[in-house]
Amino acid sequence: MDKPRAVRMPNPEKGGKNEELAPLFQALISVTRDMMNDGLRFAPPRSTQG
C-alpha cells in the first residue's frame, strides 16, 4: 500500500487542481474503508458453520 502511484494525494499547502480532487479522495477513502470493515466483519464464517 506504500507504493508510489501515478495519482498523488492532494497537498493541502498547494492550491489548484488538488483542492478540487480532495473531496473525491475523501469519498474514495471512506468507501474503501467501509468495504474493508465489511470484509473483515464478514470474512470468518464461524458463526454460520457453528
- pLDDT in the model for residue 40: 72
Give how far the C-alpha of residue 31 lies from the chain's centroid of Cα atoms, to the nearest Å. 6
pLDDT mean across residues, the chain:
71
Dihedral class, residue 2 (left if φ above 0, else alpha if ψ from -120 to 50, else beta): alpha
Yes or no: say if 19 and 10 are a contact pair by the CB < 8 Å rule: yes
Helices within 1-50 (DSSP H only): 17-42, 46-49
Q: What is the pLDDT of residues 26-39, one digit of tens each?
A: 999 999 888 888 77
Q: Which three cell numbers stand for residue 46?
A: 464461524
